[in-house]
């Protein structure tokens, strides 16, 4: 099945957006002439902003101007003017389903969970079973819309701009990290406390990496990096608001 204007929706976390990128490639290869847009949140936009298979990235500011019901309705009215003929909702979300519905998109594909009556094509939400890779579950949503591209390797794609590469190179140079150095990055937080490992254990791992491999350690969480560093014997590099 082919479509002229496709909206792919993923408005949750960074890692989940990254794992969803194979769907963009599948949609493009199955619909080479289509206009394809990806709707995501401001803090995840860099993952898809330079994706070569996309025509546009649309930002839904769930925690900002679109947080209220009124803001979401206005956002949906803007999407409606773009006249998409199909929406792929890659993660069950009341907001995503309502936006697709209020936008008047005729084919709305997603999971049978969280306001599923707003969808036209539904599939069971089996991801929590973990019987296959998350990307494969995500590609199942595309398949439910009739988007099947054989021989597609389900590998995430995140293009990195030259500007970002230059920024990183300067940051590493400013922190005395040379090309020959081994580097380990630690991200010591999660979306909720139940998923967060104790800081002193992160600190022990960081010290062990330094002592046993001679690598340098970057702690890439602005809010909790100091908690880890304060429990370490060795010095680490902390991303301060970078």
CATH number at residue 228: 3.40.50.2000
Tell me which of 115, 144, 173 is where a domain ends: 144
Q: Is residue 84 part of a domain?
A: yes
> Which range among 4-18, 33-47, 215-229 shows the weakest confidence by mean pLDDT?
215-229
Write out the H or E segment, with its range, that includes residue 45.
Answer: helix 45-48
Same-domain check for residues 67 and 129 = yes
Is the pLDDT at 222 greater than 80, yes or no?
Answer: no
> Which range among 16-25, 72-81, 145-154, 181-190 shows the weakest confidence by mean pLDDT?
145-154
Q: What is the mean pLDDT of residues 57-77?
A: 95
**pLDDT in the model for residue 33:** 96
Q: Is residue 173 part of a domain?
A: yes
Tell me which of 91, 117, 144 is where a domain ends: 144
Q: What is the mean pLDDT of residues 199-204?
A: 94
What percent of the chain clears pLDDT 90, i.e. is strictly above it?
74
Tell me which of 144, 177, 193 is where a domain ends: 144
Q: Is residue 99 part of a domain?
A: yes
Same-domain check for residues 109 and 199 = no
**In this structure, what DSSP letter does residue 29 have?**
H
Number of structural domains (the chain) is 2
Same-domain check for residues 99 and 170 = no
- Interatomic CA distance for residues 163 and 145, integer angstroms: 36
Contact 73, 80 (CB under 8 A): no
Same-domain check for residues 138 and 173 = no
**pLDDT in the model for residue 192:** 74
Q: What is the mean pLDDT of residues 207-216?
A: 95
Same-domain check for residues 66 and 101 = yes
Instruction: Give the pLDDT band of residue 241 (cuts 50, 70, 90).
Output: low
* pLDDT tens digit sequence for 163-196: 889 998 999 999 999 989 999 999 888 777 777 8
Instruction: Give the pLDDT band of residue 51 (cuts 50, 70, 90).
Output: very high
Q: Is residue 153 part of a domain?
A: no
pTM: 0.81
Q: Is residue 157 part of a domain?
A: no
Buried/exposed 161-181: b ≥16 CB within 10 Å, e otherwise: eeeeeeeeeeebeeeebeeee
Is the pLDDT at 221 greater than 90, yes or no?
Answer: no
> Which range among 8-22, 92-106, 177-191 shows the weakest confidence by mean pLDDT?
177-191
Candidate ranges 100-109, 134-143, 215-224; pick with highest mean pLDDT = 100-109
Q: Is residue 83 part of a domain?
A: yes
Q: What is the mean pLDDT of residues 51-65?
A: 95
Q: Is residue 156 part of a domain?
A: no
Is the pLDDT at 216 greater than 80, yes or no?
Answer: yes
Q: Is residue 137 part of a domain?
A: yes
Nearby residues of 135 by Cβ (< 8 Å), 6 or more positions away: 19, 20, 22, 154, 156
Is the pLDDT at 242 greater than 70, yes or no?
Answer: no
Same-domain check for residues 129 and 191 = no
* pLDDT tens digit sequence for 144-165: 999 987 777 778 999 988 988 9
Same-domain check for residues 99 and 200 = no
Supply the range of the domain harboring residue 31: 5-144
Name the β-bridge partners of 40.
Answer: 59
């Amino acid at each position: 099945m082919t479509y002229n204007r496709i909206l792919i929706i993923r408005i949750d976390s960074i890692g989940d957006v990254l794992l969803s990128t194979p769907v963009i490639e599948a949609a493009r290869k199955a619909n080479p002439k289509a206009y394809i847009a990806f709707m995501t949140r401001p803090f995840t936009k860099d993952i898809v902003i330079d994706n070569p298979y996309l025509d546009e990235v649309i930002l839904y500011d769930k925690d900002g101007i679109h947080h209220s019901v009124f803001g979401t309705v206005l956002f949906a009215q803007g999407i409606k003017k773009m006249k998409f003929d199909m929406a792929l909702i890659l993660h069950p979300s009341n907001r995503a389903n309502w936006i697709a519905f209020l936008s008047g998109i005729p084919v709305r594909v997603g999971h049978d969970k969280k306001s599923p009556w707003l969808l036209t094509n539904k599939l069971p939400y089996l991801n929590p079973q973990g019987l296959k890779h998350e990307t494969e579950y995500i590609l199942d949503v595309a398949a439910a819309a009739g988007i099947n591209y054989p021989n597609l390797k389900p590998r995430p794609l995140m293009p990195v701009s030259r500007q970002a590469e230059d920024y990183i190179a300067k940051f590493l140079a400013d922190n005395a990290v040379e090309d020959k150095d081994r580097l380990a990055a630690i991200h010591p937080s999660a979306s909720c406390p139940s998923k967060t490992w104790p800081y002193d254990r992160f600190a022990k791992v960081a010290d062990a990496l330094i002592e046993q491999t001679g690598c340098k350690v970057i702690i890439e969480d602005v809010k909790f990096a100091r908690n880890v560093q304060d429990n370490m014997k060795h010095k680490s590099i902390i991303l301060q608001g970078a």
